[in-house]
Chains A and B, each alone.
Chain A
Amino acid sequence: MKAGIVTYGAYVPSFRIAAEEIADTWGENGPAISRGLNVKAKSVPAPDEDSITISVEASRNALRRRAIDASRIGSVFVGSESPPYAVKPSATVLAAAIGATPDMTAADLEFACKAGTAGMQAALGMVEAGMVDYGLVVGADTSQGRPGDPLEYTASAGGAAYILGADDPIATFNDIYSYTTDTPDFWRRDLQPYPSHGGRFTGSPAYFKHITATTTTVMERMGTSPEDYKYAIFHQPNGKFPLRIGKKLGFSPEQVETGLLVPFIGNTYSGSMMLGLTAVLDAASPGDRILAVSYGSGAGSDAFDITVTDSIEKMSEAPTTMQQVEGGRMISYGVYAKFRRKIRM
């Protein structure tokens, strides 16, 4: 049995704050910071949105694209580092909201920005083992940066949903490889509202080392080179890192740019690579080969070598990723601080 992606959906909240607006608030050089990070704006969730509502909207968009019978979804995994409950699964709310309960299993997963792609691996294994007909996996976050911290320019909100199955997939996996180490580049302790990070340490031994390991290993195992892929998506903590790692590994900016959403919406954490992949699938044609590589602090990377099938042309209309990325309403730092509950009342 060859399992793959049966359908996918994206969700991006409609509010935005400009990087320059954040910089003005803290007396920093906005244009320089915006250019340095290659981030113009980031998405901001409305006060009535959280990673659960984002998961539901992304999953419903997946079901709009392909009306599969939700009662045949046997597993629901939600990857997030910003679940609204410390104890009580997000996955059960999501499962109920799409009509998948109760003959199914569910769990929330946590691995910084790659919990969702770890969920894809788990669900794929369950589909291929014949344990479930379909597995729904979501990566979604409403991530927060400490006010005034560099992370505040990028920590944003959004999510992507994938339904995996063996029944007429629109894309199949040629290879999946992960590389995982114990690396303390970014963390958040229990009950702390904001994460901490190792500053410059987040680059070389963390992001670049792990993504290089997975990407080169997959290409070695597949006997491929960068030119064999129409698109490449690398985890997007800012707008510079994915282009830099792409260049280092031999990928052109054209291969990376279709899935590069961070300049317009910031880093959606668990949504990052998974949302980039939805933008690529929106643009892809049968036969296109895609390399999609996640990264999660702590640290690990999952690389997926994907080929798009003819079935992608059979999908119904749903809001595309770029439709949601473009547009949006700009808000001031004050409104942003209120929405994100940075003001104590």
Chain B
Amino acid sequence: MGVARFWRENRTRYNLIGNRCPTCEKAFFPPRELCPTCHRQSIGKMVEIQFSGKGKIYSYSDVHDAPTDFSDQRPYIMAIVELDEGPRITAQIVDAIDGVEIGMPVEMVFRKIREESPEGIIHYGYKFKPAL
């Protein structure tokens, strides 16, 4: 992904900002142009929301066969996190000293997502850790 594309999404990715359909109340992350259920009724009416960053683990897997960029973190945990507000998002779980389990409460943390190279830009964004 290029610098410009990442940069455009910084605000939503740094702060977990999505939106909500005012008709059916469903929340989305990343934000959507229109609600897939209410279609036309939602055009121009989607309301921006900032998620609390709290949620629980819906499913997860331990990644042992990591891409080269991530070999220093191997093994790590990738999970589908169900946010308290509803949406399910894929994210890395960090600082899980005692492991994770389905249903475990987690909270958003701010981490490095990827470095393009030693000379390149550093991308930051959300990951999750077990809630205190």
Contact = CB atoms under 8 A, between A and B. Distances in A.
Interface of A: 14, 46-50, 52-53, 56-57, 60, 84-85, 93, 96-97, 99, 319, 323, 327-329, 338-339, 341
A43 to B, nearest CB: 12
B15 A338 contact: no
Interface residues of B, number: 20
B72 A47 contact: yes
A14 B11 contact: no
Interface in B100-125: 109-113, 122, 124
B11 A338 contact: no
B1 interface: no
A57 B72 CA distance: 22
A241 B94 CA distance: 35
B127 interface: yes
Nearest to B122: A84
Given A53-B124, A99-B15, A319-B132, A46 B94 contact: yes
A14 B111 CA distance: 13
Contacts of A341: 72
A57 B109 contact: yes
B73 A47 contact: yes
A50 B112 contact: yes
A287 B113 CA distance: 44
Contacts of A48: 73, 92, 94, 111-113, 127
Nearest to A59: B110
Contacts of B50: 99
Contact of B97 (A49, A56, A96, A329): A329
Contact of B111 (A49, A85, A96): A49
Contacts of B15: 97, 99
A321 B14 CA distance: 24
B81 to A, nearest CB: 17
A255 B14 CA distance: 40
Contacts of B72: 47, 338-339, 341
23 contacts: A14-B95, A47-B73, A47-B112, A48-B111, A48-B127, A50-B112, A52-B122, A52-B124, A53-B124, A56-B110, A57-B109, A57-B110, A84-B122, A85-B122, A93-B124, A96-B10, A96-B11, A96-B14, A97-B124, A99-B15, A319-B132, A328-B97, A341-B72
Q: Among B50, B92, B94, find the residue whose CB has the most chain A CB atoms closer than 10 A.
A: B94
Nearest to A50: B112
A96 B131 CA distance: 24
Contacts of A339: 72
A214 B111 CA distance: 37
Contacts of A323: 132
B14 A49 contact: no
Contacts of B124: 52-53, 56, 93, 97
Given A46-B95, A84-B122, A97 B110 contact: yes
